[in-house]
Each structure stands twice: as structure tokens, then as C-alpha cells.
């Protein structure tokens, strides 16, 4: 079960491990994927805790409340599985399906430099959030005296004018 030699290529966090569930080695997990069940399409998983990688094989999973519980191959004891509580669930980026041209994953937008249409520097994307109406870029400008995040609605063609993933560049209509 434990294989600390293997670790993901281009690691990507897709979830978090919660607390142990029951006495037979099941554990709660929290999915960060857009469609929560999609986390089970991206295998194998790696748990990262205390700078130690562990490759995981999921035997079984069930929906539990707003999250999931999973059974991990060769772990049948609560005292063993609880050691993974709070570990990140990580995959290799090459596990993700290839996207069509001009499509991208959220993590592709992280660290993109953002300029407005007048070529004024706004900052770098450090996160995104999902709201009921649209996604929002969280942009931080380390040169700004305000030292706060700028929230820019992710509305393509209206506010988001151009995204160039290869050059890590986003052009927006924003002041």
C-alpha cells in the first residue's frame, strides 16, 4: 500500500482527507473538483502529509452527507487510516483530460499576470472563487500600497477580454 518512491508528476491538489469513518478503515474526503464525484475519475491519488507521499488505491466509495467516504486498498483499521487525516489528495496533472482549444483549468489561471485593456498592470491571479452567478479572479498586486486582493468577475468577453495560458497573461476591462 505505501509507496513513498512514487509521487505525482506536476502535482495538483484535488481534495482533502477528513477524519476516519467507522472502525473498518474508511475515511471522509472532500472533493475540490467542480462536479464532486469527478474526483474518482482522476486516479491514482497520492496523499501528501508531513512531506511524505503515499500512493493510494481506492477500493470503494460512497456519498456521505455533502462529501464522500472511501475505502483504501489494504487498510482495514481505523488506527491506520486516521494517520492520513488532513492530508491533501493530489494527482498528476497529466491525469486530467485534455481540453479543447481556448479552454483551461482553474489551476492554469493561477499566477497569470493581469493587465487592463490600457496595459496597466493589475496584479497576478492567486486564486479563484465560485459564486452563484460567475467565477471570480482573486488578483494580488504586490506593488500596490493597499496590499489587498482585487476581485474581478470572470465574465468572458465583457470583463475578461483575452487569456493566453502559454504566456500566463490575462487582459481585462478593469480599472
pLDDT of residue 21: 96
* Domains of the chain by start residue, with CATH: 11-95 (2.40.30.60), 106-172 (2.30.30.240)
CA proximity to 152, closest of 108, 99, 119, 116: 116
Half-sphere exposure at residue 97, Cβ-oriented, CA atoms within 13 angstroms: 7
**Low-confidence residues of the chain, pLDDT below 50?**
1-4
Helices (runs of H) and strands (runs of E) counted in the chain: 2, 13
Q: What is the pLDDT of residues 58-79, one digit of tens each?
A: 999 999 998 999 999 999 999 9
Q: Please give the C-alpha separations between residue 162 and each of 52, 77, 103, 113, 167, in angstroms, as whole numbers.
A: 39, 51, 12, 12, 11
pLDDT score recorded for residue 126: 94
pTM for this entry: 0.74
Phi, psi of 131 (to 5 degrees): -120, 175
Q: Give the pLDDT confidence score for residue 1 in this predicted structure.
A: 47
Amino acid at each position: 500500500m505505501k509507496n513513498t518512491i512514487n509521487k505525482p508528476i506536476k502535482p495538483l491538489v484535488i481534495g482533502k482527507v477528513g477524519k476516519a469513518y467507522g472502525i473498518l478503515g474508511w475515511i471522509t474526503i472532500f472533493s475540490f473538483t467542480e462536479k464532486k464525484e469527478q474526483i474518482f475519475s482522476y486516479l491514482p491519488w497520492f496523499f501528501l502529509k508531513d512531506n511524505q507521499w503515499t500512493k493510494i488505491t481506492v477500493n470503494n466509495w460512497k456519498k456521505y452527507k455533502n462529501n464522500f467516504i472511501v475505502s483504501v486498498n489494504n487498510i482495514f483499521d481505523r488506527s491506520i487510516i486516521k494517520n492520513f487525516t488532513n492530508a491533501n489528495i493530489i494527482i498528476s496533472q497529466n491525469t486530467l483530460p485534455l481540453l479543447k482549444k481556448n479552454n483551461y483549468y482553474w489551476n492554469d489561471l493561477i499566477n497569470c499576470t493581469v493587465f487592463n485593456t490600457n496595459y496597466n498592470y493589475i496584479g497576478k491571479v492567486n486564486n479563484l472563487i465560485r459564486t452563484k452567478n460567475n467565477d471570480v479572479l482573486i488578483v494580488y498586486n504586490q506593488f500596490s500600497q493597499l496590499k489587498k486582493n482585487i476581485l474581478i468577475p470572470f465574465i468572458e468577453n465583457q470583463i475578461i477580454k483575452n487569456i493566453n495560458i502559454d504566456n500566463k497573461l490575462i487582459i481585462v476591462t478593469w480599472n
